[in-house]
Amino acid sequence: MAGRDRMGRKLLNNRQFNVAIVGAGNAGIAAAAAASRRGAETVLISASLDAVAHLGHGPFYQLRELGRRHGLGGILRQALERSVIDHVVTDGQRALILDGSIYQGYWKQALEREEKLSLFQDVVDEITKNGRGWSLETAWGLSLRADTLIIAVGAFMGVRTVLGNGKGVSARPREEGDKGLEGPLAEFGANLLRTRVEISPTVHARSIDWARVHGSGENRGRAARVGGGAGVLLLPTSKDGNEIYLLRAGKELRAHAEHQFWRAIPALRNLEAIRGGRAIEHLVVEESGAADQEPVAIGDTLYFAGRVAGAAGYEDAMAQGARAGRRAADVSRETWQ
Ligand SMILES: Cc1cc2nc3c(=O)[nH]c(=O)nc-3n(C[C@H](O)[C@H](O)[C@H](O)COP(=O)(O)OP(=O)(O)OC[C@H]3O[C@@H](n4cnc5c(N)ncnc54)[C@H](O)[C@@H]3O)c2cc1C
């Protein structure tokens, strides 16, 4: 372990926080920004700091409104301005396509500048109730306490990759997932159910026959719609445009049919995959009537936000995170005042 890291751990060990957040995806970062900006001493622990603010490759809707509504305006606006590549219009809604690495880099730097926020790389593998609050233990032996806890572990709880070339037990390469939080969480009243999400492949831009790509309406060029009604959108994943995500709306992924499906589209006949299509199964906490942008709360000190709370996309994940962060900060304020 590097010296600086060891020092950071010593400083954090046994510390008491107002709000602890597990997982730094879109839900976790929104929760962290919202809680710390409300004055709460906040800790955000995530398995990989390289994956802070990680996005899939799908388009981002309502980014501007989200920022305004949830008090994340400054960070979100800047992250957006720096990382936007293009936009698409789907179902009459305009959405942005972002360069994920630029978006992530900006968020990470912005969070590191937040005065009341400690950001830490580790896997939380044990949670216990500690009076009204919570104790957390990590894989590296760190022990923390917090008045309120936000679980934002994305698709990592009980994860299983079930199709394609990414077989394994992590939702993303190089990110160690959750190791057994489901037991303790069930004990504290979380009803966990298994769900499944389908992910399309990313392919080399050079393997697409662009002369056969016919954009429609505002969707032209690289962010184009192809396939004569097949509903496939080509979305670049970074500003250099070398990698393209094939977004296929509302279709079940079937391992055997996958290959044929793409190659039946004239512009995609010679596709070379970078990452194949796959499906991921994982646990979510039962929503118990929560709205799309509402976090799931168990009592007033435990919250679930993001994919683990059933959020369908970035926007819901962020809105749930920001709401959970604000609420957790307000509940813990009763303790620190
Ligand atoms: C493979 C995949 C692709 C998707 N693509 C899109 C898309 O293109 N567009 C879209 O709108 N939505 C997409 N979604 C839905 C997506 O879940 C949400 O959009 C949103 O980004 C989820 O954010 P999150 O914060 O809940 O989770 P995540 O972004 O997954 O973040 C959770 C974080 O928690 C960390 N973590 C997990 N367990 C622990 C632990 N025990 N201790 C410490 N850290 C832990 C993980 O390492 C991870 O970094 C996709 C989902 C999946 C699974």
3-state secondary structure of 103: helix
Indicate whether 81 belongs to any domain. Answer: yes
Indicate whether 104 belongs to any domain. Answer: yes
Indicate whether 137 belongs to any domain. Answer: yes
**Is the torsion defined by CA of 303, 306, 310, 316 positive or negative?**
positive
Compute the distance from residue 49 Cα to the ligand 1 centre, in Å.
Answer: 13
In this predicted structure, the answer to whether residue 58 has a pLDDT above a threshold of 90 is no
In this predicted structure, the answer to whether residue 200 has a pLDDT above a threshold of 60 is yes
Compute the distance from residue 336 Cα to the ligand 1 centre, in Å.
Answer: 31
In this predicted structure, the answer to whether residue 317 has a pLDDT above a threshold of 80 is yes
Indicate whether 113 belongs to any domain. Answer: yes
Q: What is the DSSP code string of 25-83?
A: SHHHHHHHHHHHHTT--EEEEES-GGGTT---SS-EESHHHHHHHTT-HHHHHHHHHHH
Q: Looking at ligand 1, which residue's alpha carbon is closest to its atom 35?
A: 23
Cα separation, 324 vs 316, in Å, equals 12
Indicate whether 135 belongs to any domain. Answer: yes
**Is the CB of 51 within 6 Å of ligand 1?**
yes
Residues 6+ apart with CB under 8 A from 281: 158, 159, 160, 162, 194, 195, 196
Between 284 and 94, residue with greater pLDDT: 284
Task: Give the count of beta carbons closer than 10 Å to the beta carbon of residue 80.
Answer: 18
In this predicted structure, the answer to whether residue 206 has a pLDDT above a threshold of 80 is yes
Indicate whether 102 belongs to any domain. Answer: yes
Q: With b meaning 16 or more CB within 10 Å and e meaning fewer, what string describes 216-231? A: eeebeebbbbbbeeee
User: Per the confidence metrics, is the pTM higher than 0.85?
Assistant: yes
Cα separation, 255 vs 165, in Å, equals 10
The CATH number given to whatever domain includes residue 29 is 3.50.50.60
Phi, psi dihedrals of residue 118, rounded to the nearest 5°: -105, 130
Q: Which atom of ligand 1 is nearest to the CA of 29?
A: 25
Which two three-digit tokens encode residue 278?
A: 């796959």
In this predicted structure, the answer to whether residue 307 has a pLDDT above a threshold of 70 is yes
Residues 6+ apart with CB under 8 A from 271: 201, 203, 207, 208, 262, 263
Indicate whether 50 belongs to any domain. Answer: yes
Q: Grade residue 216 by pLDDT with cuts at 50, 70 and 90.
A: low
Compute the distance from residue 98 Cα to the ligand 1 centre, in Å.
Answer: 16
pLDDT tens-digit readout, 124-163: 999 999 888 999 999 989 999 999 999 999 999 988 887 6
**Is the CB of 284 within 6 Å of ligand 1?**
no
Q: Which atom of ligand 1 is nearest to the CA of 124?
A: 42
Dihedral-angle region of residue 189 (phi above 0 means left; psi in -120 to 50 means alpha; beta otherwise): left
Predicted pLDDT at 217? 61
**Is the CB of 45 within 6 Å of ligand 1?**
yes
Total domain count for the chain? Answer: 1
The residue range of the domain holding 115 is: 2-157+180-185+284-336
Cα separation, 242 vs 238, in Å, equals 8
Partners of residue 302 on adjacent β-strands: 149, 298
Partners of residue 44 on adjacent β-strands: 21, 119
Q: Looking at ligand 1, which residue's alpha carbon is closest to its atom 27?
A: 154
108: Cα within 13 Å, side-chain hemisphere: 17
Indicate whether 326 belongs to any domain. Answer: yes
Mutation choice for ligand 1 from 43, 46, 243, CB with most ligand atoms inside 8 A: 46
Cα separation, 116 vs 109, in Å, equals 14
**Is the CB of 277 within 6 Å of ligand 1?**
no
Between 117 and 74, residue with greater pLDDT: 117
What average pLDDT does range 165-187 have in this prediction? 76
